Amino acid sequence: MDYDIIRKSLDIKAGSNMPDYEQAVADFSWRHAKSLLHGFADGKLNIAYEAVERHVKSGCGQKIALRWITKNGDVCDYTYADLSSLSSRFANVLDRLDINKGERVYTLLGRVPELYITALGALKAGCVFCPMFSAFGPEPVQARMKIGGAAVLITTKALYKRKMVSIRAELHELREVLIVDDSESEGSRDFHGLMDATSDQFETVAMDPEDMALLHFTSGTTGMPKGVVHVHEAVVAHNITGRLALDLQPEDIYWCTADPGWVTGTSYGIIAPLTNGVMLIVDEAEFDVARWYKNLSEQGVTVWYTAPTAIRMLMKSGSELPAEHNLSKLRFMASVGEPLNPEAVEWGNEIFGMPFHDNWWQTETGGIMIANYASMDVKPGSMGKPLPGITAGIVEKIDGGVREVSEPLTIGELALKPGWPSMMRAYLDEEARYQKCFVDNWYLTGDLAVRDSDGYFWFVGRDDDVIKSSGHLIGPFEVESALMEHEAVTEVGVIGIPNETAGQIVKAFVALQSGYVPNEDLRLELLGHARKRLGPAVAPKEIVFRKNLPKTRSGKIMRRLLKARELGLPEGDISTLESDEK
Ligand code: ATP
Ligand code: MG
């Protein structure tokens, strides 16, 4: 493969994409970021064109775009030209079924090629792509399809039977169901039969930058998931963050471990890597320690984007397994989704010879907003610095408005100046909730953080999770990280529980490393360790052991559920809860 052609076409120079952060901040403009894309006349564009067609047009169609590893370990490659013709076929299928521009195309699929083809084909045709996580039960599926007004669903025979049959009659806007592993049957059509019967040529629909492209539901960590609307213009941010925050280069073999059912798996599991012309690894199987190390070594992964829960599970499994693998191709590792404990960053250094680079963003922001960049020193435990082009601040609420706090290390709400391309344009059906996010020209994130005097941002906790104890404001993350340092601990969730004298006291739920037995001695040892590290005012007063902590299916600890259960309150929406053993 001649990488010079693709480098030239994408204007990516050899070496780090951002050798000097401060310089990049000074030079950055969104106009320039947009100019890196192909686009169409009159400022129109289409995410799918940027992801696939432009590479084919520039002569790089034979480059591998997607390497799919099946559950049983077989490998199947798709070039950019393959993705182009398959997504064109799918766009033609939509056309034939009279699914029009702006209509919503849903998937309920595991990580199979049809998911990626559907995403690209739907975008190409000007439809809105909405991926659903395949492990959702019928109720969450129904809720998401209703909210978004699904016109067509692509799924498998088994998933259809288990999740759709009971709810289909309720979905009045759903006109078509396409099944990827079955021939035509009652109420559904054969995806591949339709694909084979159409042309592999389709002219990408030129979209207005503000046309809706993606509908993603949030993780439901703090309550009922919200339907977040993103537009085609978002690709400007996907592309540039892929370069600046993940340092993607055309030679890279890139593995994003997130499922496209969550925003990370689409923004950084499809769009950012493909627009940057890299080779994408997709593993159909679920998390498995041995398999993951095998993937990293056998595929020669160079850039790896994963999440704290997975990293903690790898840490738990020890250092012997990675030592058996050749991981020398890896050059950049990043993490998102939850706070990354300093312990995990150090572990990266020890095992892989490089730190995990934490970065922060939300479904609402559509792309990475704060990050530890390749060229920057990582401060373990910090989320890093704002993306060039993004203004982030710490604000406090005053008289119905907000004011930025300038004093370093002051806890306040993390806020961003609105206006970047991948910012959400709406919460579907929840206009008032959407409007409430914007105050005094700041977008309020709902997360609390501090900024240090070097400009690094540190996560404190979600607004709802912060604990007020004897006049102190305590972030659960700080307490969790201190407990994580203890060798017996794998995972911690910290909450505040009501207390007459202190207002709230800190309580920790701890899952142990294999080989450790929960007993009173260990409990006292952990209490002592936390006191020593945090001081008596911040350390937990109570510690209880749990086999697992309740998590969302995207891997986030659900502190609100720990709290509800502790206080005997209603559990609220648990549609995204991964089953948990107490
Ligand atoms: P919901 O909004 O439905 O409660 P959610 O906020 O978990 O769910 P997402 O949009 O998937 O849904 O997650 C974004 C949130 O995840 C952020 O607001 C933040 O609380 C957390 N998060 C993401 N990355 C980081 C990080 N690097 N450090 C700390 N927290 C993070
Ligand atoms: Mg949220």
Sole residue written with tokens 């199979």: 112
Q: For ligand 1, say whether the CB of 360 is within 6 Å of any of its atoms.
A: yes
What confidence category does residue 124 fall into, taking pLDDT thresholds of 50, 70 and 90?
very high
What confidence category does residue 400 fall into, taking pLDDT thresholds of 50, 70 and 90?
confident
Query: Which residues contact residue 426 at a Cβ distance below 8 angstroms, ignoring those fewer than 6 apart?
Result: 228, 229, 434
pLDDT at 581 over 60: no
What confidence category does residue 95 fall into, taking pLDDT thresholds of 50, 70 and 90?
very high
Question: Which two structure tokens, joined as six digits, stand for 4?
Answer: 């010079």
Question: 264, 362, 413: which to mutate for ligand 1, most atoms within 8 A of CB?
Answer: 362
Q: For ligand 1, say whether the CB of 339 is within 6 Å of any of its atoms.
A: yes
pLDDT in tens, 33-42: 999 999 999 9
Residue closest to 477 by CA, chosen among 498, 453, 503, 459:
459
From the alpha carbon of 358, which atom of ligand 1 is closest?
Answer: 27
Give residue 82's pLDDT.
98
Give residue 418's pLDDT.
98
Q: For ligand 1, say whether the CB of 556 is within 6 Å of any of its atoms.
A: yes
Amino acid at 260: P
Q: For ligand 1, say whether the CB of 341 is within 6 Å of any of its atoms.
A: no
Which residue's CA is the closest to the ligand 1 atom numbered 17?
362
Amino acid at 515: G
Taking CA atoms, 336 is separated from 200, 245, 308, 363, 483, in Å, by 37, 12, 7, 12, 20
From the alpha carbon of 446, which atom of ligand 1 is closest?
Answer: 18
Q: For ligand 1, say whether the CB of 546 is within 6 Å of any of its atoms.
A: no
pLDDT at 250 over 70: yes
C-alpha–C-alpha distance, residues 461 and 27, integer Å = 32
From the alpha carbon of 363, which atom of ligand 1 is closest?
Answer: 10
Domains of the chain by residue range: 13-451, 464-579
Q: For ligand 1, say whether the CB of 422 is within 6 Å of any of its atoms.
A: no
Q: For ligand 1, say whether the CB of 362 is within 6 Å of any of its atoms.
A: yes
Residue closest to 213 by CA, chosen among 94, 103, 123:
123
Query: Which residues contact residue 570 at a Cβ distance below 8 angstroms, ignoring those fewer than 6 apart?
Result: 564
Residue closest to 490 by CA, chosen among 556, 560, 545, 555:
545
From the alpha carbon of 220, which atom of ligand 1 is closest?
Answer: 3
Give residue 554's pLDDT.
87
Contact between 302 and 294 under an 8 Å Cβ cutoff? The reply is no
Give residue 491's pLDDT.
94
Within 10 Å of residue 318's Cβ, how many Cβ atoms?
14
Give residue 492's pLDDT.
96
Question: Which two structure tokens, joined as six digits, stand for 93?
Answer: 């299928």
Give me the percent of the chain exceeding a pLDDT of 90.
91
Tell me the mean pLDDT in the region 386-399: 97
From the alpha carbon of 459, which atom of ligand 1 is closest?
Answer: 29
Torsion of CA 142, 263, 71, 196, to 10 degrees: 70
Q: For ligand 1, say whether the CB of 551 is within 6 Å of any of its atoms.
A: no
Give residue 271's pLDDT.
98
C-alpha–C-alpha distance, residues 117 and 125, integer Å = 12
Q: For ligand 1, say whether the CB of 447 is within 6 Å of any of its atoms.
A: yes
pLDDT at 582 over 70: no
Instruction: Label residues 212-242 b or e (16+ Cβ within 10 Å = b).
Output: bbbbbbbbbbbeebbbbbbbbbbbbbbbbbb
Tell me the mean pLDDT in the region 169-188: 92
Alpha carbon of 411 to ligand 2 centroid (Å): 19
Helix (H, G, I), strand (E, B) or coil at 560: helix
From the alpha carbon of 477, which atom of ligand 1 is closest?
Answer: 29
Give residue 378's pLDDT.
96
Q: Calculate the average pLDDT of the chain.
A: 95
Alpha carbon of 40 to ligand 1 centroid (Å): 34
> In CATH terms, is domain 464-579 a member of 3.40.50.880?
no
Flag the least confident range among 155-159, 232-236, 500-504, 505-509.
500-504
Q: For ligand 1, say whether the CB of 576 is within 6 Å of any of its atoms.
A: no
Fold of 13-451: Rossmann fold (3.40.50)
pLDDT at 579 over 80: no
Alpha carbon of 338 to ligand 1 centroid (Å): 6
pLDDT at 369 over 70: yes
C-alpha–C-alpha distance, residues 226 and 565, integer Å = 23
Tell me the mean pLDDT in the region 217-246: 95
Q: For ligand 1, say whether the CB of 363 is within 6 Å of any of its atoms.
A: yes
